[in-house]
Amino acid sequence: MNRIGFPALCCLFLFFTANRALAEKVPNPAQNQIIAKTARLYLESSGTYVPGDLITESQIEELQDYLRRSFGNSPATHRGLSNRALKDDAPLSRYFFREQANQVLRKAAEKLGGYGQLEVLSLNRQGRQVLQEAIATQSEAGIISRIDTSPQNMGSEASGNPHQLKAIYTLEDFLEAAFPKSGEENSLDP
């Protein structure tokens, strides 16, 4: 090969390689919507999932395996996402997956704007008693009043650290973390 051909060939190779790498990094909104719809259908097909339900680390890992097999690697299959979900043996997870408990806790989470305050409540003995009473009476009123009268109001999910990633409690949290809206920083990288 002559002297001009080899450098030109190298430049072409680098050009096409760089373009391919950039194309893989650019988010594809249409594909993201398909992945999000598939994730919803996957969880709903279990027969027990209701939108707004708490999802745990193992559920996210199973969902990610399915999405990875179906679509290959995508932001929704990033391994860091499952680490931000509650463990299966976390106190709130154990309460939520008891028979009839999920209805009460789901209602309370809707009124409180998420599961963060319920998780905080589940981490101490008095809070667990409040959760047990609410489940037994099938009323979220005790949970709401406890959180409203709490001295620190239990309101902060993030412990004052602006770089702390938001916990994933629901499918919507998962999808928001995987596919941040434009203008938001990438929630996959700390």
Task: Tell me the pLDDT tens digit for each residue of 60-85.
Answer: 999 999 999 999 999 999 999 999 99
Domain count, the chain: 1
Task: Tell me the pLDDT tens digit for each residue of 27-56.
Answer: 688 899 999 999 999 999 988 899 999 999
Both tokens assigned to 64: 């990610």
CB 53 within 8 A of CB 106: yes
163: confidence class by pLDDT, cuts 50, 70, 90: low
Residue 172: inside a domain: yes
pTM of the model: 0.76
Residue 60: CB atoms within 10 A of its CB come to 22
- Name the percent of the chain lying above pLDDT 70: 73
Residue 188: inside a domain: no
Residue 10: inside a domain: yes
Residue 79: inside a domain: yes
